[in-house]
Structure 1
Amino acid sequence: MAVPMEGIFNADRDCPAYVSKNKQTNPDGAHINTGKAYPVIEANKPDAADWYRLRLPMADPPERWVSRDCGRAQASAGPEPVAGRCDLAGQADAYVLALSWQPAFCELKAGKPECRDAGPAAYAARNFSLHGLWPTKASCGQDYGFCGEVKQPKREFCDYPPVALDAATQAVLAQVMPGTASCLERHEWHKHGTCQTAWSSDAYFALAADLTRQFNGSGIADFLAPRIGRTVRTEDFLARLDTDLGTGARDRIRLNCERGMLVEVHLNLPPKLEPGARLESLLRLAGRNSGSNCGSSFRLDPMGP
């Protein structure tokens, strides 16, 4: 009988990674590589296990069975070592949805590929854009990350391994995440996406995109549209959050400004997210984490020079 397990599997040789260990099905030819370490999420029995279920972030589905003959499994020594680790998948106790105001981002980083041809007709010119959906762990905060094969940030986002995404997901991200022009989705998956165990890369980004659209569609984008290029009172924006996303929403959303411009909003979300859930309901279940460095007002930058 399979049992949950927390730890690391160190691969001593290349081996296939099966969706079903009994049928030895491996539809995408996934395998583990010599010298790599993989998070263990399950063993096929409590003692003298023959098989370990690992998380391979590039596989679909990412949960795969590998024979014990392929390496060495090391269980976490107990709650204290696990609590001290910030790179083990499945330890999140909350999520943060990070959304960017792309015109302000491009004002600060005009040389980015996604900013060079950005025009006022683009979706990102009048709606918040997806930065990322971040699993967080209380003892690590937003430093919780890199739970897969990639353990360190890369100098450039395009230096990360590509993320396998179907055509539909790529099309959605092209609209709501302009940063895909700079391979932002690679960074977000390898740093944050690998730390959750519920979804494939496609499902993870589909959920993040849906939450982004819900935020914009709640009425926030309509509130901001006539104010683009103008100064907005912070209190007016916070009050609108409560109106559109439910009383108390403002207590679960942080605002980040730079050079007097609103740059990002961070929404606190609960540890269990279900695809199709309403953002308003999720905010009600989330812990409080509000705040702002914007002062009494901020500028809502327009797209373009």
Structure 2
Amino acid sequence: MKALLAAAAALLVAHGSCPALAAEDVAGEFDYYVLALSWSPAWCATEGRGRDEPQCDPERRTAFTVHGLWPQYEDGWPADCATSQRDPSRRDSAAMADVMGSGGLAWYQWQKHGRCSGLSARGYYQAVRDAAAAAEVPALLKMLPRDVNLPASVIEDAFIQANPDMTRDGITVTCNGTRLDEVRICLTRDLQPRDCAPDIRRDCRGALLMEAPG
């Protein structure tokens, strides 16, 4: 019986049918990045204020924050890669709160996505800052005076106008129900604008609610 089981296992391995032996994602092996900008007022309205998160303080009038900088394949994406790089310190993660909203999110993003970049923790956090600094957020969207409903295409147009190197295929808008959720911008490994691969071009349809910051 043992011999039969061993033979069956060997057959599965030979035919690549054993999921336990699937190749793991390798740190540093990817094609491009996605910079995900989260619309903070929507997150605060659904989760953040109930958790008393600092970014939801009305005095801060926080508009977009960085959800993450995600390595991508041309089809799919790596996650939870093994890496020889050391994890960031609590101080390094906490210092990312100004662009990511919280040190906890920065730490989570490092674990799931940053390790796949092949960069050191500090290098990845700096890449997050550099990508965020290079993506100009339209002034009107930063300082909405009141809640508005805007089609995804209008939000994209505003970003493209503020960032002339972006193309319509290089930016996508996601939603949570009828609320704006994120604006996702595709970047080369050198953090230059590029078109997104087809698997992540999933714009929301219809008008999206954008709550005014504050």
TM over 0.5: yes
1:163 alignment partner in structure 2: 88
Q: 2:27 matched to 1:89? A: yes
- CA deviations on 1:151-193 (whole Å, 9 max, x unpaired) are xxxxxxxxxx9622666x743x12111132xx11221111111
Asked whether the equivalents of residues 148 and 190 of structure 1 are also in contact (C-alpha less than 8 Å), the reply is no
Gaps of 5+ in 2: 1-21
1:214 alignment partner in structure 2: 134
Return the offset for 1:136: 1.4
Residue 194 to residue 162, structure 1, CA distance change in 2 (3 Å):
closer
Residue 90 to residue 251, structure 1, CA distance change in 2 (3 Å):
same
2:80 alignment partner in structure 1: 146
Gaps of 5+ in 1: 1-83, 150-160
Aligned 1:135-284 pairs, distance under 5 A = 135-139=71-75, 141-142=76-77, 144-148=78-82, 163-164=88-89, 170-171=94-95, 173-180=96-103, 183-197=104-118, 199-215=119-135, 218-226=136-144, 228-246=146-164, 248-270=166-188, 272-273=189-190, 282-283=192-193
Asked whether the equivalents of residues 126 and 221 of structure 1 are also in contact (C-alpha less than 8 Å), the reply is no
Residue 213 to residue 121, structure 1, CA distance change in 2 (3 Å):
farther
Q: 2:45 matched to 1:107? A: yes
Q: Which is strand-richer, 1 or 2?
A: 1
Asked whether the equivalents of residues 114 and 124 of structure 2 are also in contact (C-alpha less than 8 Å), the reply is yes
Return the offset for 1:95: 1.0
Greater RCO (CA < 8 Å, at least 6 residues apart): 2
Asked whether the equivalents of residues 40 and 56 of structure 2 are also in contact (C-alpha less than 8 Å), the reply is no
Aligned 1:28-39 pairs, distance under 5 A = none
Asked whether the equivalents of residues 98 and 266 of structure 1 are also in contact (C-alpha less than 8 Å), the reply is yes
1:30 alignment partner in structure 2: none
Residue 119 to residue 166, structure 1, CA distance change in 2 (3 Å):
closer
Distance across 2 between alignment mates of 1:235 and 1:268: 16
Return the offset for 1:223: 3.9
Q: 2:202 matched to 1:291? A: yes
Residue 286 to residue 165, structure 1, CA distance change in 2 (3 Å):
farther
Residue 186 to residue 126, structure 1, CA distance change in 2 (3 Å):
closer
- CA deviations on 1:32-81 (whole Å, 9 max, x unpaired) are xxxxxxxxxxxxxxxxxxxxxxxxxxxxxxxxxxxxxxxxxxxxxxxxxx
Asked whether the equivalents of residues 99 and 265 of structure 1 are also in contact (C-alpha less than 8 Å), the reply is yes
Distance across 2 between alignment mates of 1:101 and 1:260: 13
Distance across 2 between alignment mates of 1:211 and 1:221: 18
SS at match of 1:190: helix
Root-mean-square deviation over aligned CA pairs: 2.8
Return the offset for 1:254: 1.2
Distance across 1 between alignment mates of 2:53 and 2:33: 26
Residue 261 to residue 242, structure 1, CA distance change in 2 (3 Å):
same
Residue 109 to residue 126, structure 1, CA distance change in 2 (3 Å):
closer
Return the offset for 1:258: 1.3
Return the offset for 1:227: 5.2
Give the alignment's TM-score, normalised by structure 2: 0.74
Distance across 1 between alignment mates of 2:132 and 2:185: 10
> Across the two proteins, how many residue pairs are aligned to each other?
189
For 2:186, the aligned partner's letter is: N
Q: Which is helix-richer, 1 or 2?
A: 2
